[in-house]
Amino acid sequence: MENEVKLAAGAVVSLAIATAALVVLPYLQVRDVTPPPGLKPYTSAQLRGRDVYIANGCVYCHSQQPRDRGLGPDLARGWGRASVPGDYFYDKPHLLGSMRTGPDLFNIGARQPSKDWHLGHLYQPRAYVPGSIMPSYPYLFEVKDAAEPGDEVLNLPPGQGPFGRVVVARPEALDLVKYLQGLDHTYPVLPPPLKAKAGAAAPAPVHAASAAAS
């Protein structure tokens, strides 16, 4: 019986430690995060585009978290500075991603601002990047005999579109591209405030001094 009590107590303590380390501490670390001044909230079109991004599983191949220089060559790859918690202020759910079958997209809006390029690349990635393994998304587009007023017709590279017909972007494709163009976190961010650092460091010399004195 005594062993069962020990087992149950051990389980409860292990669970409490895990909850503190994985839930409570991270929550305390990020609960006061504010958006950097350069970060704009999403527009409603960008939010719809974000839903298209989620629905089509883009996150399974693309991350949105450039790493610090010490952890990888992301800056040298042109993916931008290391992201900070505030960059994700408006992201619910976050789309950090864990796989990089394709490039990181956290700053794709700055790297590739062209709407034409994005629409064409979604319709047929291999028309722009020979040998690309990114899937094409033809159902985000409509092939028509002729464009109607208000249609967004794709300017595909010569020989890539259906012969004698036009490819028109559906609203989902247009929203998705607005979201991609808005992925621009190239504004500067400040390092963590000195106050917090000084506050954390200040008690240390006091302890060191009293330890030396005793």
Tokens of 206: 């006091």
For ligand HEC, the binding residues (CB under 6 A) are: 53, 56-58, 60-62, 101-103, 105, 108, 111-112, 125, 129, 132-135, 137, 176, 180
Which residues contact residue 162 at a Cβ distance below 8 angstroms, ignoring those fewer than 6 apart?
143
Residue number with CB closer to ligand HEC (29 or 114): 114
Rounded least distance, CB 58 to ligand HEC, Å = 3
CB-closest chain residue to ligand HEC: 102
Question: Judged by CB, which is closer to ligand HEC: 39, or 134?
Answer: 134
**What is the residue-wise DSSP string for the chain?**
-HHHHHHHHHHHHHHHHHHIIIIIHHHHHHTT----TTPPPPPHHHHHHHHHHHHTTGGGT----PPPTTT-STTTTT--SPP-GGGGTT-SS----S--SS---TTHHHH---HHHHHHHHH-GGGTSTT--SPP-GGGEEEESSPPTT--B--PPTT-SPTT-EEEE-HHHHHHHHHHHH----S--PPSPHHHHHHHHTHHHHHHHHHHH-
Q: How far is the CB of 74 from ligand HEC (least distance, A)?
A: 12
Structure tokens at 30: 């990020």
In the complex, minimum distance from the CB of residue 168 to ligand HEC, in angstroms, rounded to a whole number: 18
**Angle made by CA atoms 26, 109, 151, in degrees to the nearest 5:** 125
- Closest approach of Cβ 40 to ligand HEC, in Å? 20
| Residue with Cβ nearer ligand HEC (6 or 77) | 77
First to last CA, the chain: 47
CB-nearer residue toward ligand HEC: 135 or 162? 135
To ligand HEC, the closest distance from the beta carbon of 167 in angstroms equals 16
Question: Between residues 66 and 161, which has the closer beta carbon with respect to ligand HEC?
Answer: 66
Beta carbon nearer to ligand HEC, 130 or 203: 130
